[in-house]
Structure 1
Amino acid sequence: MIDEEVPVLIVGGGGCGLTASLFLSDLGVRHLLVERRESTSVLPRAHYLNQRTMEIFRQHGVAEDVYALSAPLAHMSEVAWRTSLAGDGELDARDLHRMDSFGGGSTAAPYAADSPCPSTNLPQHRLEPLLRRHAEERAPGMVRFHHLMEEFTQDADGVTARITDRATGTTRTVRARYLLGADGGRGIGDTLGVTMDGDGGSWNVISVHFSADLSRWWSGDKVLITNFVSPDGGLVSRYGMVAMGPGWGLASQEWALHFHLPAGIELDLGEEATVARVRELLKLPELDVTVHQVSRYTPEAVIARTFRVGRVLLAGDAAHRQPPATGLGLNTAVQDAHNAAWKLAAVLGGTAGEELLDSYESERLPVARRSMEWAMFAFRNHGVLHAGLGLMPGAPPETTRANFRALFADTPMGDTLRARTAEVFATQRVEYQAHDIEIGFHYDRGALVPDGTPRPPLDPMGSVHHPVTRPGHRLPHAWLTRGAERLSTQDLVGRSGGFVLITGPDGDAWRLAAKETAEAYGVPLEVVAVGTADEPAGFRDEDGTWSAVRGTGDDGAVLVRPDQHIAWRATRAGAHPERELAAAVRRALGHPDPAPAAGATA
């Protein structure tokens, strides 16, 4: 007996599942979310929110609430490397390198030019309650924590799941047309027989979440992350710390300290031993420390061979897991949910065929693989930095200390060693200045119409972004004005699932074409004209940015999907714009091309 029926069942109430819930609510899709835990995460593990994720949050009315709690750019614009946080020895508390980061300092101009949203920092234990509140407000009674999916089966028409309320022990049977697996890899993929390929992990990472007043010693008010390379050697000589708020910069009260343990080594992780370890590593023997959580995890770089099995879609950690470097895990998960949500809405709403869901995998799997590989590359590059300091595996402590003395010496060789350090450490921009990796991902095939143009050049170090309207790419940001109104091109795409056709000042032919196409396919399709002068019916390209990137003539058009990616573009209006646009929307919705009429010739 079926106790409850919903179009979509979301399993997992972390960042991926909660964002999928609020996206589906905005798209008018009824759904049920179940999460086995009693509450949202108590760990601050994921914390960096890149510009693309913040753009998605802006589209769905969440960004302002995130910014109200998160780190202002002024307090996350630098990453530091030091020998230790404090201490009074000759090699203690010495700077090794500093790097502008995340859109601050020297990176400010390109980050600000390419997005209306700054990147920010909000740890998972503060972000998830915010997302949960939004999800519950938009889907009252349908976001259920402390509920466990015991098992599920699927058939040609849907998914049947047994859900247990862990508070009461009551089990109900839920029937859904589709299941979105966002359970962090805790069983849905295994049940489906999905293989995960990649590196299963060879590091043992300990994370300590604690409170302490470090305002006298922290690396600076602009610093979000400090990486430590200790000259002392010992069991833990490479470790890192992240400010975790709720104040920021020197005012941060909470911190996350991460360090690796060699294989086969076990530590006492009890509270007293952990406090002693924190004091030892920071060289603050009298520091007042309150430990909140100690966790252990093994970074992986694995990806599912498929993101869709029948009526089940895998997203977030259920589909791909990567090391924390570059902060791509949670961000990629949110972007998975964004991609899947509009497609599920289109299929369930009848405007698209189920074939559209095939494009979820063809689009997201290559992006997730690139993110996974990049994260592992950035993670391992820290070893290159250590080699750049002259550190060699197995070297005796006296040799390591001698290397550090030479590095800091006021000698010509000291100058050379410091110059080498600066050059080698600059390569870690692949983690802290990965601007193009964060916002430049694109889709080569899927719910789009390729136009045969080459992709823009890729910066091999992942920093330089080239905005384009090539199909499959994210809609470039440009500021537009209409009277007193000022908005981003991205703001033209609302949260309710419609397409947008952006035309030039001579795009009148597209208006009738859009009206006919919208009626034919039952999909909202808004036409927006953008020109270089004030026009009653359109927007003004404020500083010429849109004209520089639009890739069309004044009578051309760019079709934008509900997830702000380009579906199609026409450089000029042809003889039959209504046919061109109808064909583009049909392809973007996953409909097959119509069969040739009887008797038609090629």
Structure 2
Amino acid sequence: MQTMETPVLIVGAGAAGLTSSLLLSRLGIANRVVERRRAPQSAPAAHVVNARTFEIFRAAGVDMDAIAAACQDPADAGQVLWVTTLAGEELGRLPFERQGDDTLAFTPTPLRSLSQHRLEPILGAAVRVSTDVDYGHEWVRATQDSRGVTSRIRGRDGEYEVRSRWLIAADGAGSPVRTALGIAPIGPDRLQSFIMIHFEANLRPLVCHRAGVLYWTTAPGATGTFVAHEIDSTWVYMHAWDPDRESVDDYSESVCAAIVRGALGTDAYPFRIRTVRPWTMTAQVVERYREGRIFLVGDAAHRFPPTGGLGLNTGVQDAHNLAWKIAAVEAGCAGDGLLDSYVAERRPVAQRNADVSLQNALRIGEVYQALAELRDAAPARGADALRRAIANQAEHFDMLGLQLGFAYDAGAIVRNGAPPAVVSSVREYVPSAAPGARVPHAWVRRAGVRVSSLDLLPYDRFTLIVGPAGEAWADAATAITKATAVAPLVIGRDLDDPDGRWLRLLDIGTDGAVLVRPDQHVAWRSRGAAASPRGILTNVLGSILSR
């Protein structure tokens, strides 16, 4: 049997798997991607890509012009609405996330609606510059020992083996790798089931006066949700179904067409059914993310309700956290304990995201309860209850604090007795440079060009941000860089911080320093000078890198 070798085998070519490959390649770590699907994602799935994920793509060298061209215009995707039918009465609306220029104070890349089937080809093109993606190749099983993992793969021309030092399982919610390892997801495994009806139609003439990305239809017999992936062409309708009493086979094309037509509330707009598939809403996080040399990322590690759009984003951020750690161990500059920090850091984030997504899903039920009151009670009282119920959904569609403000309480960080980073609320992001937090974004100038501070932080090394009077810290970073790649970045020397905003956000004095990891999370901070900067920095890095 043919045997291939690669440092890292990635199982799954969704967003998390492709991002893992892209980041590893950027770090000089060869890898191989296998995907059981015979082609990239073709049907719409996830569609919310948040600011932090775009920041990661930006740092990874993804073509951001192509990304921007694939995103929906916020004028089309800036609202969510409740209607009787798509052609019927509007019951209420809310803004969909913060997509305006005001968000540029916190991130260079605000959230957008970008459908997964349009995102993955862009990521795939970036990956294929250095790595092949083998579609139609199914992971079958694996054994591992102290030096690596041997995987059996079923390809288009038969089975073969891949010997890798590490395996990243990015193989989706049903993860065969996770199942083979006996790792159990924890949490409710069936909150609600849906038939996802993907259809093509130009519905702009129907919705142009109230363009939005989500429409909840509430008319009796037509209750569900439209997702406008592209108003002019690509839609999904989510129709609740009961798999204990119904079969997927009951949902023929003609039945699905009747469901869509009823929810549209009009026969005036032709459409074509493209795909029909079942989907079950869950809220689960696996008990552990690592088994020896095998790591779970993305939906293989966690499954959320779609109410929040956090699934794809959390998976990409898993990859961002893990890739540099594997590279550090591969390079011999970190111990195995650094890889354990992946679990310690990412699992709590996934659990919070699962909990918030579940709360959002349950809260939507308030709208339907209010509608029942509207039908059964006095009209004025019912209408007031409906307005309150819709207004109470606002947090669901305004989650900047959760998206940018997550911080690691434990793992590859050194606090020196400092309190944990302030945890942002779901809605309100509080910039922080405490250890564990994403380093704050600010607009600065380098060589006369306005750039995001995040663009100055390379993914292949640590960065020591130093205040204008902190040259001793910069000298220490330069002195130890042979043992650990640390790039000093001195405010006032290497960049201009015209209004001092970044220095204030970093919360250090002019002689202080902030050590930032390759994934842009703060590893350690000193608000001022120290007697032995080189010794302190050496000890801090030794602790972070488990050596």
TM-score range, shorter chain: over 0.9
User: What residue identity is the alignment partner of 2:94?
Assistant: M
- 1:68-107 maps to which residues of 2 (within 5 A)? 68-86=69-87, 93-104=88-99
Moved more, 576-585 or 267-276: 267-276
- Tell me how far apart the structure 2 counterparts of residues 465 and 386 of structure 1 sit (CA, whole Å): 30
TM-score (norm: length of structure 2): 0.95
- Flag the 1:359–1:456 CA change in 2: closer, same or farther, 3 A: closer
- Flag the 1:390–1:454 CA change in 2: closer, same or farther, 3 A: farther
Counterpart contact for 2:409–2:421, Cα < 8 Å = no
User: What residue identity is the alignment partner of 2:216?
Assistant: N
Shift of 1:27: 0.8
- 1:14-163 maps to which residues of 2 (within 5 A)? 14-62=14-62, 63-86=64-87, 93-104=88-99, 109=102, 111-139=103-131, 142-163=132-153
Q: Partner of 2:327 in structure 1?
A: 345
User: What residue identity is the alignment partner of 2:241?
Assistant: L
1:177 aligns with 2:140: no
1:580 aligns with 2:503: no
1:198 aligns with 2:187: yes
User: What residue identity is the alignment partner of 1:97?
Assistant: G
Residues matched between the structures, number = 543
Give the aligned CA root-mean-square deviation in angstroms.
1.9
Q: Secondary structure of 1:539's match?
A: coil
- 1:245-260 maps to which residues of 2 (within 5 A)? 245=230, 252-260=232-240
Larger Rg: 1
Counterpart contact for 1:36–1:149, Cα < 8 Å = yes
Q: Partner of 1:241 in structure 2?
A: 226
- Flag the 1:221–1:587 CA change in 2: closer, same or farther, 3 A: farther
1:289 aligns with 2:271: yes
User: What residue identity is the alignment partner of 1:202?
Assistant: L
Of the candidates 424, 429, 433, which is equivalent to residue 394 of structure 2? 429
- 1:301-320 maps to which residues of 2 (within 5 A)? 301-320=283-302
User: What residue identity is the alignment partner of 1:363?
Assistant: E
Unaligned runs of 5+ in 2: none
User: What residue identity is the alignment partner of 2:11?
Assistant: V
Counterpart contact for 1:27–1:342, Cα < 8 Å = yes
Shift of 1:426: 2.4
Q: Secondary structure of 1:295's match?
A: strand
Q: Partner of 1:445 in structure 2?
A: 410
Counterpart contact for 2:193–2:240, Cα < 8 Å = yes
- Tell me how far apart the structure 1 counterparts of residues 480 and 508 of structure 2 sit (CA, whole Å): 21
User: What residue identity is the alignment partner of 1:144?
Assistant: D
Counterpart contact for 1:71–1:122, Cα < 8 Å = yes
1:179-237 deviation per Cα after TM superposition (whole angstroms, max 9, x unaligned): 1111113311121121211101131111111111212221646522112222xx23x42
Q: Secondary structure of 1:199's match?
A: coil
Shift of 1:417: 4.9
- Tell me how far apart the structure 1 counterparts of residues 53 and 424 of structure 2 sit (CA, whole Å): 21
Q: Partner of 1:3 in structure 2?
A: 3
Shift of 1:457: 5.1
1:257-314 deviation per Cα after TM superposition (whole angstroms, max 9, x unaligned): 1121245245732222211221111111243111111111111111111100101011
- Tell me how far apart the structure 1 counterparts of residues 104 and 516 of structure 2 sit (CA, whole Å): 22
TM-score (norm: length of structure 1): 0.86
- Tell me how far apart the structure 2 counterparts of residues 2 and 352 of structure 1 sit (CA, whole Å): 33
Shift of 1:481: 0.8
Counterpart contact for 1:74–1:104, Cα < 8 Å = no
1:271 aligns with 2:253: yes
Of the candidates 492, 516, 526, which is equivalent to residue 479 of structure 2? 516
Shift of 1:475: 1.0
Q: Secondary structure of 1:175's match?
A: strand
Counterpart contact for 2:406–2:424, Cα < 8 Å = no
Q: Secondary structure of 1:173's match?
A: strand
Q: Secondary structure of 1:365's match?
A: helix
Unaligned runs of 5+ in 1: 87-92, 246-250, 393-399, 408-413, 592-602
1:494 aligns with 2:458: yes
Counterpart contact for 1:456–1:466, Cα < 8 Å = no
Q: Partner of 1:229 in structure 2?
A: 218
Q: Partner of 2:490 in structure 1?
A: 529
- Flag the 1:118–1:202 CA change in 2: closer, same or farther, 3 A: closer
- Tell me how far apart the structure 1 counterparts of residues 47 and 512 of structure 2 sit (CA, whole Å): 41
- Tell me how far apart the structure 2 counterparts of residues 7 and 206 of structure 1 sit (CA, whole Å): 40
Indicate the percent of aligned positions where both proteins have the same amino acid. Answer: 37
Shift of 1:456: 5.5
